[in-house]
Amino acid sequence: MADRLERLADLAVHGANVQPGQVLMVTGEIGNEDVARAVAAAGYRRGAKFVDVDYFDPYVKRARIENADPGSLDFVPRWYGTRMVDHAEDEGARVTLATLTAPNLMDDLDKTLVGRDMLPRVKELTKIVGDRSTNWCIVPAPHRAWATIVYPDLDEDAAYERLWDELEHVLRLDDGDAANAWDERMAVLRDAAERLTARSFDAIELRGPGTELSIGMLPTHRWWAADFTRADGLRHLPNLPTEEVFTTPDPLRTNGHVTSTKPLALRDGTIVRGLRVRFENGVAVEIDAAENGDTLKSLLDIDEGARRLGELALVDRQGRIGPLGTVFYNTLLDENAASHIALGAGFKFLVDEEVVPRVNESGQHIDFMIGSNEVEVDGITADGERIPVLRGGDWQI
Amino acid sequence: MADRLERLADLAVHGANVQPGQVLMVTGEIGNEDVARAVAAAGYRRGAKFVDVDYFDPYVKRARIENADPGSLDFVPRWYGTRMVDHAEDEGARVTLATLTAPNLMDDLDKTLVGRDMLPRVKELTKIVGDRSTNWCIVPAPHRAWATIVYPDLDEDAAYERLWDELEHVLRLDDGDAANAWDERMAVLRDAAERLTARSFDAIELRGPGTELSIGMLPTHRWWAADFTRADGLRHLPNLPTEEVFTTPDPLRTNGHVTSTKPLALRDGTIVRGLRVRFENGVAVEIDAAENGDTLKSLLDIDEGARRLGELALVDRQGRIGPLGTVFYNTLLDENAASHIALGAGFKFLVDEEVVPRVNESGQHIDFMIGSNEVEVDGITADGERIPVLRGGDWQI
């Protein structure tokens, strides 16, 4: 286990590309101590000046929602933002652990109350990511409670072992030199993104079971793989694993309806199933779900932009996550199994400067999966020509 | 256990006197989740606007000392201080959990390196306490690892149960109405403090096995019990349990030698045993210990004031901790079993304004126990008269 933790931690600080002298911020939950400590050690071995590990406790959040004045639930102490802003100003590094330590913890609470407390997400992070001032990486952190949700038919030990095995596979940690394996995969994804960018589509259309959606593109929009540089040029891999190419759409020109193809696990452990959304002129005017739609809707009440699209991502069927057929109940993993869209904040760095004011703004960013091998994806050119983009999960361009 | 946790938590927020609308900061270690969550719930029930729980991870600190550049070990990200200063500016409340979750964790490391990293203590706290801007309370948080150190002859379950039992006793949680029990005990301690203050001693002398120490007093010095008010008058009980009366001595006029009467457990879990200190004109010029003296010494290298006295506290034998005969390896508890002195920061609020510049200044504050029923304590008046203060642990004034 020590070896496993060290390999995962080494990949995390490789993804974040931690530099000597940097402050590395590690964010996880109570229950992620094993991974967080390994990442801290790996960060120090790479020369970090300080590793600031912050453990979020979802049980304290629950105590708040149960006991606090409902009117105070959106309050966030100002030092939560200061910490992120100061760290970004110092051009620090970040590793975030994607996990699920307390599934169903909030299930019996009033969902509209749960949605008002957005922590551990702080609104300052949206600008920090947009400014590209930090080098960062999100990696999954296995946890026993998470494993039993993903593999309900296995006992806890077997489920935990299986989760580690599958995560090591999708993280390419079973490949000998994981850093090199990711360099090769990123080259393929960057190439796909470049071909999409070169097409300059006016819109992308998706058609499949329960889905008929047209998403308008912005002028000058670019498609990227999750292979980033900071504003000063320092490379980092923000998501490991990653299999997507993505862009930031026109927040005013999405129309039609879409049905999620995977469950959506919110940060507080709430799982939204059977999500259906109808868009009119960019706005998600109808949101329904078989389970926990109200929690999602309350998360989208924070500002006007939360009901508009900030991201469209396409995922082919060549990645390692989709073929497993596993639902991880975790966006980092599930979004890379299937094409997806995100409600909320868009990415300003994906359009030219004069178009930046048209990118969606929001304190929220919630991805949900809408792709499958049954969903056809077309690009629509400015002339109205329809170009097949994905068929059966395979690139057509 | 849920009842026990709730009673302890209710006493903690009573001690801190958490007010509706306040931000309550709760500081503990990984391993204190049970108590921290109970305190969070108790804080919200009292009307806290937000409870900011911060878990310190001593294993991350160990990873730093093992792997980081030794020259970087005194670095603290600026947002650690900003957080405390902003919270104090907002007149927030604090509950600190005194615990020992990882005894001996640092034992095999270079002690001079261990001493350079002072976290979780941040230097800003000294001024915040001196300014009396926050209402706060330190309470013990039972932990299994701590219990096995305190009761090495018991198995873990029995040790943990015994630790809970003894802590409930010294916290007066077995008294029905603990809040009322503490009101009664504080009245007794305040009375002893008032009698000592009225004497205006020029010096206090201690004599006993291995100890012959004269501690000069400052003009206008006051003795207090741990029954505080914020600068704006809000009452709070900063230490629960507490059995001491204390003052801030003249940092220039301590002479002689002193032998500790209890082991001293440092914040990182290092235990200093058999401590002997010799003072010349206020400075601890010789520091020796049977175990871990070097770690202590390295903690005292941070500034000039760390080797001078900031506190003298007298403890009678009427309290609940001394009679147990238990060594808790925890300053909050052990210091209240015996008279003690503290190297480092003094208390400016215990002298008149014109004397404040003479109070000891330091980023450090380390209490160690020097009293026992065998140690005689005298007060020396300005005229050189010797007045017995404690004999056999009983007040003589």
The total of other beta-carbon atoms located within 10 Å of residue A233's CB is: 7
What is the three-class DSSP state of B295? helix
Whole-number pLDDT of residue A269: 66
With a CB cutoff of 8 Å and minimum separation 6, the contacts of A89 are A133
pLDDT at site A246: 97
Closest CA to A76 of B321, B51, B213: B51
A chain contacts of residue B47, beta-carbon cutoff 8 Å: 69
- The whole-number pLDDT of residue B335 equals 86
Asked if B64 is an interface residue toward chain A (Cβ–Cβ < 8 A), one would say yes
pLDDT band at A76 (very low <50, low <70, confident <90, very high): very high
The mean pLDDT value of chain B amounts to 95
Q: Using DSSP bridges, classify how beta strands A50-56 and A23-29 pair: parallel, antiparallel or unpaired.
A: parallel
Tokens 């147990």, residue located: B324
Residue A358 pLDDT class (50, 70, 90 cuts): very high
Cβ–Cβ below 8 Å for A44 and B50: no
Contacts of A113 in chain B (CB under 8 A): none
Q: Which of A30, A50, A69 to mutate to test the interface with B (most CBs of B within 10 A)?
A: A50
pLDDT at residue A270 in the model: 80
CA dihedral B35, B40, B41, B47 (to 10 degrees): 150
Tens of pLDDT, residues B239-276 = 999 999 999 999 999 999 999 998 888 876 688 999 99
The ipTM estimated for the assembled molecules is: 0.86
Chain B nearest C-alpha distance from A101 (Å): 14
Write the residue in A47, A49, A68 that is nearest to B75 by C-beta.
A49
User: What local confidence, expressed as pLDDT, does residue A111 receive?
Assistant: 79
> Considering only A140-149, A235-244, B11-20, B291-300, which range has the smallest mean pLDDT?
B291-300
Residues in A closer than 8 angstroms to B30, CB to CB, are 30, 33, 55
Specify the residue for token string 């927030």.
B92
CB proximity under 8 Å: A 74-113 to B? 75-79, 82-83, 86-87
Tokens at A119, concatenated? 């922590």
At residue A376, the 3 state secondary structure works out as strand
The region of weakest confidence among A205-209, A368-372, B211-215 is: A368-372
Instruction: Tell me which chain B residues have a C-beta less than 8 angstroms from the C-beta of A41.
Output: 63, 66-67
Structure tokens at A320: 């390692």
Test B40 with A64 for CB contact under 8 angstroms: yes
Which residues, 6 or more positions from B147, have their beta carbon under 8 angstroms from its beta carbon? B154, B156, B159, B160, B162, B163
Size of interface A-B (CB pairs under 8 A): 107
Identify the band that residue A68 occupies on the pLDDT scale cut at 50, 70 and 90.
very high
Predicted pLDDT of residue B36: 98
- pLDDT, greater one: A267 or A355: A355
User: What pLDDT shows up at residue A397?
Assistant: 86
In terms of Cα–Cα distance, which of A103, A105, A97 is closest to A28?
Answer: A97
- Whether B44 contacts chain A with CB within 8 A: yes
| Mean pLDDT (whole number) for A141-155 | 97
Kindly state the average pLDDT of the residues A28-41: 98
φ and ψ of A107, to 5 deg: -55, -35
Tokens of B230: 């914020």
Q: Are B267 and B120 in contact (CB under 8 A)?
A: yes
Interchain contact, B60 vs A66, CB within 8 Å:
no
Answer yes or no: is pLDDT of A153 > 70: yes
- For residue B323, cis peptide bond before it (omega within 30 degrees of 0): no
Q: Are B367 and B173 in contact (CB under 8 A)?
A: no
Residues of chain B with pLDDT below 50 are: none
Mean pLDDT for chain A?
Answer: 95
Dihedral (C-alpha) A377, A380, A384, A388: value to the nearest 10 degrees? -50
Residue in B45, B48, B77 closest to A50 by CB: B77
Q: pLDDT band for position A193 (50/70/90)?
A: very high
> Does A267 have pLDDT greater than 80?
no
Quick one: pLDDT at residue A268? 66
CB contact under 8 A, A33 and B77: no
Mean pLDDT value of segment A376-397: 94
Cis? peptide before B77, omega within 30° of 0: no
Where does chain B have alpha helices with state H? Answer: 2-16, 33-45, 58-67, 78-89, 111-116, 124-131, 144-150, 156-170, 178-199, 293-299, 331-334
Which is more confident, B286 or A337?
A: B286
pLDDT at site A25: 98
Return the percentage of chain A with pLDDT > 70, whole number: 99
Cβ–Cβ gap A83/B86 under 8 Å: no
Total residues belonging to chain B: 397
Q: For residue B67, which residues of chain A lie inside 8 Å, CB to CB?
A: 41, 44-45
CA A222, A223, A227: angle at the middle one, nearest 5? 115
Q: pLDDT by residue (tens digit) across A102-120?
A: 988 998 999 789 888 989 9
